Structure formats: C-alpha cells, structure tokens
Amino acid sequence: MGDIHEQEESSQVWLISFTDVMALMLTFFVLLFSMTEPAKQDWSEVTSALHSEFNKFYGSFQTLGPQDTINISRMNFNQALNIDYLESLLASANAQSRFLDNVTLNKMGDRLVISLPRELLFEPGQASVKEDGTRALYALGGTLSRVRNQIEIVGHADPRPVSEGNRYDSNWELSLARAASVAGILETVGYDKDLIIRGSSSGRYEDLADIGDEERRLDLSRRVDIVVLSHDGRRQKIFDETTP
C-alpha cells in the first residue's frame, strides 16, 4: 500500500513544475508587453473601432438627461428635432452672426418660422440673393443641414402690382423665384433632403394687419420664410396594410 501511495504522489509532482513554468512565461510576456510601445496608427484604429461599436449600442443614451449648454454636436439627428430645442439652437446661432441680426424666429404651433426680410436677401424686383443674404443663409444652413425635420421655403410679396418691364409677370412668380433661390443656397450649404418650395405672392399680407405703419407692413410682406416642421416629412400610414 505504501508503494502505491508513493507512486501517486510522484505522478503529480510534474503539475507543480508545469504551473511554475506557465506562471513564469506569463510574467515574461507581461514584462515584454509593458516594455513595448504600440504603433500609434494601430492604436488609433483600435480606439476608433471601439468608439464606433459603443455608439452603435449606447449612442442614443448620450442625448438623454439635462445639458449644461446647447450643443448641436450632442444631438441625435436620426429623427426630427423638437421644435423648442431647434428654436434655442437657431437663436444661439443668430446671436453669434451679425448677418442674422434681422432674421426673426417665430414658433407657430407645430412649426418654426424663420423669416428673412427682402432687404437682406434681394434687390427690389429681383430674385438673385445678395452677398449678405448668402452669408446669412450659410450661417443658418450650418444648423439646418444637420437636422431631419421637413423644411418648406415660402416666398412672399406685397400686394402692389409688379413694375412694368419686370422679368416676372406677377408677384406669385417673383415670390416663387425668390423661394427657389433660397432653397438653392441651402442645398449648396449641405441640406440634402427634399425641400418644399411655395410662392405665396401677397396672400399673407393680411396677417400683418396689426402693424400700423404701412411701409413697415409692406417691407415685412416682402420676405422669405424658412418653415421648419416638427416631423421629418415621411408619409404616415392611415390604414394598416393587413386591413381588408
């Protein structure tokens, strides 16, 4: 019996030596790793891959909770932005650009109306955007190009007949051409979603009835409105497809 017990003990001695060797090898490799300096490019690729995977699953949580400041880079642009929040973003942009001093923001129900006066954008009777108007649209386009909200461009005109010899036969044609010019610049800036363009002629002149100064009222009626809707423009299903 004694011989058998001694044989069992001696048959397990190699495990101790093997464990010691593995521990020494692990220590050796850790030491080698600590002494090496990884290639900067390889390390950047690893961190970029980890960041991409993290955002795929947890990126939406970054937009939750209160924010100390309004920062457009923190927003999730895969859906239409809240109109109140977008108004705050644009108000901040207006305050930072002198070209937006005469641009007004008005929240009207489920939409935000950005009104640009004629004197900022166009010469009288013309539809080509002036240099200052282009700069103003570039300042606005930096924000608008990054949101998914549906946008409409609405041109307006005063009720006075167009001047004789004008290239546009009616106020409607002039207001539509001005809306198209503004839309073209927004697309140049980077807004790549569908834009709805409307010419309202003098149809909204009556909305300014509370303005007593007639000249001021006429000036405000010659404007272009950028109307930002609360949705992204995708059609909603009224009936379920399975309904017979």
pLDDT, mean over the chain: 74
pLDDT for position 209: 44
pLDDT of 242 over the 60 cut: no
pLDDT of 63 over the 60 cut: no
Domains, the chain, in order of start with CATH, read 2-56 (no CATH), 72-229 (3.30.1330.60)
pLDDT of 237 over the 60 cut: no
Mean pLDDT of 151-170: 80
Spatial CB neighbours of 224, under 8 Å, sequence gap ≥ 6: 115, 116, 118, 121, 153, 154, 155, 156, 178, 179, 182
Distances (CA, A) of 227 to 11, 108, 152, 173, 179: 85, 10, 5, 19, 11
Q: What is the DSSP secondary structure assignment for residue 68, as one 8-state letter?
A: S
This prediction's pTM: 0.59
pLDDT of 90 over the 80 cut: yes
- pLDDT tens, residue by residue, 8-39: 555 566 556 777 778 888 888 788 777 776 66
